[in-house]
Amino acid sequence: MPDVLAPPPTLQITGLKKSYVVRRDLLGRVTQRFEAVKGVDLSVDAGQTLAVVGESGAGKSTVGRLALRLIDPDEGDIRVLGEDITGLGRPALKRIRARATMIFQDPYKSLDPKCTIRYSLNEPMIAQNIGERDERDAKVDALIERVGLSAGHLDRYPYEMSGGQLQRVAIARALTTDPELVVCDEPVAALDMSIRAQVINLLREIQAERGLAYLFVTHDLSLVRVIADRVAVMRSGLIVENRPTGELFDQPTQDYTRTLLSAIPAAHPRDRTFTRRSAPSDSS
């Protein structure tokens, strides 16, 4: 029996759909659409991580952006912390932006190359009118240390720093407004292996400290085991399977899931296998 006093999930998505116009005829009428998301339900609780996995083109990044209404859905509901944000107007949506933030894949692209690190970290607070100058500075100082960098990095430009360092900055930036939900869009795909481990561990520590909910979008299934409580497998705009991590890895119910799992590279030579001829995954 559901506990009626339990807090609502941090993020709840129902029936989400999004398509893009591909072709119009001479009169401007739409003749072809690409359906990126065809009807997706998912939810994430506080302190939990839901990983959305799939190959490129599956629609997982689109789901991530829809969750924060960085793009608008065609159909469906998005509820953040119990509040329906699907139809919210601009000023109300802005409020939500403080409570739900995003970490992007490539830190060299998600940080303005013309802005200092200090500005990039301050911007969310300035945009949200949070705190006075000295309060913001104190927060920025605290956050930069928390992510393992030093105050000296604040006056630098992105080009002066490494990918791993910049992604830590991106994490700090996502935390400046004390959000409750963070959407992570392939946050470690662009990083080296040992740096990946550093960043993943940092994300987990911060989640434990703050009770954050993570929507973790990735194509790397091996990572998912380490970081996610639940996994939703996406294919061609639909969720194929959505289970707790352990169950999904030990007893996948869907063939597609099995295909993805078998494609994970071995962690040790004794586990290596050659593929039997699999169906070509690129058809164009």
Please report how close the Cβ of residue 6 comes to other proteins at its closest, in angstroms: 25
Query: By CB under 8 A, how many residues form the interface with other proteins?
Result: 78
Under rule CB under 8 A, residue 5 binds other proteins:
no
Interface positions, 151-170, toward other proteins (CB under 8 A): 155-157, 159-160, 162-165
Cβ(86)–Cβ(80) under 8 Å? no
Sorted by sequence, the CB contacts under 8 Å of residue 149 that are 6+ apart come out as 165, 168, 169, 172
For residues 195 to 214, the per-residue mask of contacts with other proteins, x marking binding by CB under 8 A and - elsewhere, is xxxx-xx-------------
Interface positions, 9-38, toward other proteins (CB under 8 A): none
Interface positions, 35-54, toward other proteins (CB under 8 A): none
Nearer to other proteins, 3 or 284 (CB): 284
Under rule CB under 8 A, residue 68 binds other proteins:
yes
Sorted by sequence, the CB contacts under 8 Å of residue 241 that are 6+ apart come out as 231, 232, 233, 248, 252, 253, 254, 256, 257
The single residue listed with the structure tokens 């996995």 is 53
Which residues are bridge partners to 243 per DSSP? 231
SS3 231: strand
Nearer to other proteins, 79 or 225 (CB): 225
Nearer to other proteins, 35 or 106 (CB): 106
Taking CB under 8 A as the binding criterion, the range among 30-38, 43-51, 125-133, 134-142 that sits at the site for other proteins is 125-133
Interface positions, 251-270, toward other proteins (CB under 8 A): 259-260, 263-270
In 137-210, beta strands by DSSP E: 181-185
Under rule CB under 8 A, residue 178 binds other proteins:
no
Under rule CB under 8 A, residue 219 binds other proteins:
yes
Nearer to other proteins, 177 or 242 (CB): 177
Nearer to other proteins, 5 or 27 (CB): 27
Q: Give the whole-angstrom CA distance, residue 208 versus residue 89.
A: 33
Cβ(81)–Cβ(99) under 8 Å? yes
Q: In Å, how far are 119, 132, 226 from 141, measured between CA atoms?
A: 12, 14, 30
* Max Cα–Cα distance, the chain, nearest Å: 62
Interface positions, 88-117, toward other proteins (CB under 8 A): 94-95, 97-98, 101-102, 104-106, 109-116
With CB under 8 A as the contact rule, the residue among 194, 209, 251, 255 that binds other proteins is 194
In 2-90, beta strands by DSSP E: 11-24, 30-44, 49-53, 75-80, 83-84
